[in-house]
């Protein structure tokens, strides 16, 4: 089932640990899902979404990648 | 039957970039200074606790307890390392405090020590992120500047905290650090320099971050009888609290309210029988500039959302408490495992009236030290004994 929620906060990681060096810079988003759970995910753009905006992601065993919900 | 517990002696190395120094040499220097300051015979020390976070990762050295105790000439003691990330040595203080308070030991030596400089930046970042849950948020690439970047973005969003207010924390603490001979940074910085410094984890910029630091600090904790015999200028520990907070960012109901800090402060104030308005000075865990603002709210010095405006007002206009007169982690430095003991060292020197940056006559001081995502939090309240 698709993950849906609102952005609680965000950051752009520019100084990563060794394991994420190749991916930097990348956006992390903290999302509160519609069921109240909170999830940390990546974002599919270089600039973070506004706090409060609606985002969705496909469920994943790895870190989910959120995108802004089409309006 | 319990007894009062005192900080009978303090010692510290300089905090900073200290090439060529080993963990052992730093710990021994601080430990010897604390023993000398206490005027308590080393034979009366029952335990040695060494607070350290990443000694194993950064230097390959473990088993610091027995090694440091032996190098101090303390044989036949129980000596172990305590780890609670950046709160390692203040957590060790809590354990030592409880042993003395319970009467199990007359005196203990608590040392905090760390070596963080000299390694490549990605190696340091990797070592620090050992305190992030690697099965979940570490996998996503979260770092501590990233955690606090999220806190800063949300604090700004919810309460209107401005970039200038947050940068003013660094400016204030650099001014304090400039007159602390133990501080790593002893040069003031302008507001514009903080705001224009390179981004690390937006909106966190370089001058919003504490530096990587080498250093050690040590405390001798003792019971009332021993303190009277020694004649040392002791400071009473009115409260020693260690609690857990959320270990993952996704465990927070609201990331601008750090539950561990709120709970630790509540318990400490209740134990000491005082409130935030009674505190004369506080050393708060300002690992990032926004952290001091969040901490000052969570510890009750200001209402939630008022910590930002309070930084840029004159102290007399909002609260009598002087925050981070040592320069804090932002200026004095953050040798993670040593920071908790270093904060108590600073408050003890103020309460004894002996600090180079003496704020005036102070009766009550508080330290707040957080490990991980404020997942291990200590609050100590110290009282001058005159």
What's the pLDDT score for residue B320?
Answer: 83
The answer to whether B197 contacts chain A (CB < 8 Å) is no
**pLDDT of B314:** 56
Specify the DSSP class assigned to residue B70. H
CB distance B199–A8 less than 8 Å? no
Mark yes or no for CB contact B141/A9 under 8 Å. no
If you measure CA to CA, which chain A residue comes closest to B253?
A38
Those residues of chain A whose CB sits closer than 8 Å to some CB in chain B are: 8-21, 23-24, 26, 28, 30, 37-42, 48, 51-52, 62-63
Beta strands B45-51 and B78-82: pairing type?
A: parallel
Model pLDDT, residue B304: 97
| Three-class secondary structure assignment of B94-133 | HHHHHHHHCCCCCEEEEEEEECCCCCCHHHHHHHHHHHCC
pLDDT of res. B189: 97
Specify the pLDDT at position B163: 98
The C-alpha of B203 sits at a distance from chain A's nearest C-alpha, in angstroms, of: 7
Edge-first strand listing for the sheet containing B281-283? B78-82, B45-51, B107-114, B215-223, B5-12, B235-244, B376-384, B364-371, B281-283, B322-323
Task: Quote the pLDDT of residue B316.
Answer: 46
φ and ψ at residue A12, rounded to 5 degrees: -115, 115
Chain B: residue nearest A22 by CA?
B141
Residue of chain A minimizing CA distance to B137: A40
Model pLDDT, residue B312: 83
Low-confidence ranges of chain B (pLDDT < 50): 316-317
Instruction: Indicate the pLDDT class of residue A45, thresholds 50, 70 and 90.
Output: very high
Query: Which pLDDT value is given to residue B315?
Result: 56
Q: Which is more confident, A1 or B184?
A: B184
Task: Give the pair of three-digit tokens for residue B41.
Answer: 């015979």
CB A13 to CB B123 under 8 A?
no
CB B380 within 8 A of CB B242: no
For residues B296 and B306, give the distance between their C-alpha atoms in angstroms, rounded to a whole number.
9
For residues B235, B300, B336, B169, the Cα torsion angle rounded to the nearest 10 degrees is -110
Q: Do A19 and B136 touch (CB under 8 A)?
A: no
Shortest Cα–Cα distance, A43 to chain B (Å)? 11
Q: Write down the pTM of the prediction.
A: 0.98
Q: Do B249 and A19 touch (CB under 8 A)?
A: no
B250 touches chain A (CB under 8 A): yes
Which residues of chain A does B137 touch, with a Cβ-Cβ cutoff of 8 Å? 40
B125 within 8 A of B143, measured Cβ to Cβ = yes
Q: Please give the average per-residue pLDDT across A2-13, as a whole number.
A: 97
Query: Which pLDDT score, from 0 to 100, does residue B318 have?
Result: 54
The per-residue pLDDT for B233 is 86
The answer, yes or no, to whether residue A71 has pLDDT greater than 70, is no
CB contact under 8 A, B157 and A11: no
Contact residues, chain A, for B126 at CB < 8 Å: 17-19
Contact with chain A for residue B143, Cβ under 8 A? yes
Interface test with B, best of A3, A11, A26 (most B CBs within 10 A): A11
């Amino acid at each position: 089932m698709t993950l849906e929620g609102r952005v609680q906060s965000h950051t752009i990681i520019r100084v990563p640990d060794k394991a994420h060096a190749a991916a930097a810079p990348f956006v992390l988003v903290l999302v509160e899902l519609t069921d109240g759970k909170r999830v940390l995910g990546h974002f599919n753009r270089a600039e973070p979404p506004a706090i409060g905006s609606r985002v969705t992601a496909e469920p994943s065993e790895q870190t989910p990648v959120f995108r802004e919900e089409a309006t | 039957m319990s007894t009062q517990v005192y900080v009978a002696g303090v010692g510290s190395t300089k905090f900073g970039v200290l090439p060529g120094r080993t963990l052992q040499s730093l710990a021994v220097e601080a430990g010897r200074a604390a023993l000398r300051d206490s005027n308590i015979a080393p034979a009366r020390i029952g335990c040695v606790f060494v607070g350290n976070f990443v000694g194993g990762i950064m230097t390959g050295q473990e088993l610091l307890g027995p090694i440091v105790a032996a190098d101090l000439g303390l044989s036949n003691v129980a000596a172990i390392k305590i780890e609670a990330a950046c709160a390692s040595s203040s957590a060790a203080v809590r354990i030592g405090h409880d042993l003395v308070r319970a009467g199990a030991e007359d005196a203990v030596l608590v040392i905090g020590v760390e070596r963080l400089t000299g390694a490549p930046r990605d190696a340091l970042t990797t070592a620090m992120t050992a305190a992030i849950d690697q099965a979940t948020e570490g996998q996503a690439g979260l770092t501590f500047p990233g955690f606090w970047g999220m806190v800063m973005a949300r604090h700004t969003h919810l309460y209107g905290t401005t970039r200038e207010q947050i940068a003013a924390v660094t400016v204030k603490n650099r001014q304090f650090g400039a007159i602390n001979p133990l501080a790593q940074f002893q040069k003031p910085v302008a507001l514009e320099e903080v705001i224009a410094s390179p981004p690390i984890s937006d909106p966190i910029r370089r001058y919003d971050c504490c530096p990587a630091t080498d250093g050690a600090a040590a405390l001798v904790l003792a019971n009332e009888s021993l303190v009277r015999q020694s004649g040392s200028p002791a400071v009473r520990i009115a409260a020693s609290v260690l609690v857990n907070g959320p270990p993952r960012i996704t465990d927070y109901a609201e990331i601008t309210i750090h539950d561990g800090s709120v709970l630790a402060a509540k318990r400490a104030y209740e134990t000491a029988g005082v409130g935030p308005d009674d505190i004369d000075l506080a050393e708060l865990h300002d690992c990032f500039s926004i952290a001091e603002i969040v901490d000052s709210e969570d510890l009750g010095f200001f209402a939630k959302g008022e910590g930002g405006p309070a930084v840029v007002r004159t102290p007399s206009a909002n609260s009598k408490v002087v925050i981070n007169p040592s320069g804090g982690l932002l200026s004095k430095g953050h040798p993670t495992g040593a920071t908790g003991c270093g904060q108590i060292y600073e408050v003890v020197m103020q309460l004894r009236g002996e600090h180079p940056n003496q704020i005036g006559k102070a009766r009550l001081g508080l330290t707040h030290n957080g490990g991980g995502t404020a997942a291990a939090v200590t609050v100590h309240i110290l009282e001058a004994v005159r």
